[in-house]
Amino acid sequence: MSDSCIFCKTANGQIPSDFVYETKRVVVFKDINPQAPTHLLVVPKEHIETLNDLNDKDLTAELFEALKAAVKKLGISEYRTVINTGKGAGQEVFHLHIHVMAGRSFSWPAG
Ligand code: 5GP
Ligand code: ZN
C-alpha cells in the first residue's frame, strides 16, 4: 500500500467507490473519466506499479478472472482491453490496471 497512490486508496476503501466486482486480491471499478459508455478498471489491491512488475501467477490469473466475471455480470461480451505500460505508452497512474471499454465501436490499430 502506497500512501500517495490513488488506486491503493480506492482499492482498499480509503476513497469511497462503488466496486463493480471484487475478489480477495482484485477490485473492478468505473473509470472517473470514461472513454466509452462502459469503462472499467481492473486493479490489484496491492501496489504493483506496472505490468513489468507483476510476478505472481496467481494474481495474474485472478486479475483476468475478475475481468471476465465483471463483464459477465454486466452482460457485456464485446469489449476492448488495454494495459498502458510506462509513460511512453500512455500510463498516467503507476498502479497496475487493465482498462475494459465497451458500448461503442473501436478502431484498430489503437492510437
Ligand atoms: P492510464 O493512463 O494510467 O492507463 O489510465 C489511468 C486511468 O485512471 C485514466 O483512464 C483515468 O481517467 C483514471 N483515473 C485517474 N484517477 C482516477 C480516480 O481517482 N478514480 C478513478 N475511478 N479513475 C481514475
Ligand atoms: Zn497503488
Can you give the pLDDT at residue 111? Answer: 79
Q: Which residues have C-beta within 8 Å of that of residue 82, sequence separation ≥ 6?
A: 98, 99, 101, 110
Ligand nearest to the CA of 48: 2
What pTM does this model have? 0.97
- pLDDT values of the chain reduced to their tens digit, one per residue, 111 residues: 777 999 999 999 999 888 999 999 999 999 999 999 999 999 999 999 999 999 999 999 999 999 999 999 999 999 999 999 999 999 999 999 999 999 999 999 987
Ligand nearest to the CA of 99: 1
State the burial class of residue 4 (Cβ atoms within 10 Å of its Cβ: 0-12, 13-18, 19+): exposed
The string of pLDDT tens digits covering residues 1-10 is 777 999 999 9
Instruction: Report which protein residue has its CA nearest ligand 1's atom 4.
Output: 91
- Name residue, grid cell 498502479: 95
Mutate-to-test residue for ligand 1 from 18, 32, 83, highest number of ligand atoms within 8 A of CB:
32
Q: Edge-to-edge, what's the strand order for the sheet holding 19-22?
A: 19-22, 26-30, 38-44, 98-102, 80-82
The string of pLDDT tens digits covering residues 10-27 is 999 999 888 999 999 999
Domains of the chain: 6-102 (3.30.428.10)
Can you give the pLDDT at residue 72? Answer: 98
If you ran DSSP here, which 8-state letter would residue 3 be given?
A: T
